Amino acid sequence: MHDQDPRSRRPARTLLNAMSRLSRRDFLRKTAALGAGAALGSPGLAYAADRLLTLPIDLAVARGPSPADNCRAAVEALGGFSAFVKPGSRVVIKPNPVGRGRPELAINTHPDLVEVVVSGCMKAGAREVLLVSHDEASLFAANGIGAAAERAGGAVKALTTADLYREIPIPRGVLLRTDMVSADVLDADVFINMPIAKHHAGSGVTLSMKNLMGITWDRLRFHRLDLHRCIAELNSAVRQDLIIMDANHVLLTNGPSGPGEVRVAQTVIAGVDPVAIDAYTAHAFWGDITPFHHIRIARELGVGEMDLAALAIKEIAA
């Protein structure tokens, strides 16, 4: 895809000007005040509107042999870490740390990306960078993510007890009226989602939106109700300030834990719109995205844009 003038974006992407300067905490307070049954225009777009209106592009796609360089290049194209992290910020990062395998198996977020992001946040002035996920602490050690975070000045936290979660309303939820979400994520000044692109037996793919199941307490509830709709509804209520998709190695089959067919794609995709990132990634590596219903449902809920032709996308050789 070619670079596009961001001024050519669809008018619908700027309908939430009144909400566009909400801070992360302002957004969460306003969402909570609405209660479970209220509606706020399009809250999914509201949580990202301030970024969408100020970033030079919608998606940055960096390709090259070095995962770390790809990550740096993609974030730099969006304005660099200082565009997202202000001095004194408390940053919370959600990687995908579910397995013990090396990066080439495409099961976990690449440790090199984790180190780049934690380091970039610290250099931008973050007072704290914490990696969280509803996974056992031993996994962070086994797959190298914990060591990478600590080398760069961050820390990790396994979200394995109920007291680490807080109930929030899902204003646009039909199946999810409320959900128990990581208190660390809710209280963060900046929340960065760092998924890896891979196949999933239940949802077809696990990308940025599916990765947020790792900040909820009762993940089996999603499967009991309707996995696709629950993923979309959760994303309508949880604001992500930056998404960095690890597609350096992509697990095409037998996900989420593999082993399966792996494509060495040498790619990192960054942006703030989870629907756009997931639509782009799914189309790039699986072609037909129609089986991945949560992407369409999230678009219908106003979470983001899945029409790639409507996006300003910059491709970079890192």
Instruction: Tell me how far apart the alpha carbons of residues 131 and 117 are, in angstroms, rounded to a whole number.
Output: 11
| pLDDT given at position 280 | 98
| pLDDT given at position 100 | 87
Nearest CA among 165, 137, 167, 164 for reference residue 150: 137
Torsion of CA 250, 256, 261, 264, to 10 degrees: 20
pTM of the entire structure? 0.86
What stretches in the chain show pLDDT beneath 50?
Answer: 1-49
Task: Compute the half-sphere exposure of residue 42: CA atoms within 13 Å on the CB side of its CA.
Answer: 19
User: 277 — phi, psi (to 5°)?
Assistant: -65, -45
pLDDT tens sequence across 210-249: 999 999 999 999 999 999 999 999 999 999 999 999 999 9
| pLDDT given at position 101 | 82
| pLDDT given at position 40 | 36
**DSSP count for the chain of H helices, then E strands:** 12, 12
| pLDDT given at position 2 | 37
Instruction: Tell me how far apart the alpha carbons of residues 144 and 50 are, in angstroms, rounded to a whole number.
Output: 34
293-300 vs 227-235: helix crossing angle, rounded to 10 = 40
| pLDDT given at position 248 | 98
Q: Is 135 helix (H, G, I), strand (E, B) or coil?
A: coil
| pLDDT given at position 253 | 96
| pLDDT given at position 72 | 98
Specify the DSSP class assigned to residue 87.
T
Specify the DSSP class assigned to residue 6.
G
| pLDDT given at position 55 | 84
Q: Which domains does the chain have, with CATH numbers?
A: 6-317 (3.40.50.11440)
| pLDDT given at position 64 | 98
Phi-psi region of 89 (alpha: psi -120 to 50; beta: other; left: phi over 0): beta
Angle at 41 between CA 93 and CA 180, to 5 degrees: 40
**Cis status of the peptide bond prior to 259, with omega within 30 of 0:** yes
Specify the DSSP class assigned to residue 50.
H
Angle at 219 between CA 259 and CA 164, to 5 degrees: 115
Instruction: Tell me how far apart the alpha carbons of residues 234 and 95 are, in angstroms, rounded to a whole number.
Output: 17
Paired strand residues for 315: 61
What tokens appear for 197 in the block? Answer: 């692109």
| pLDDT given at position 112 | 98
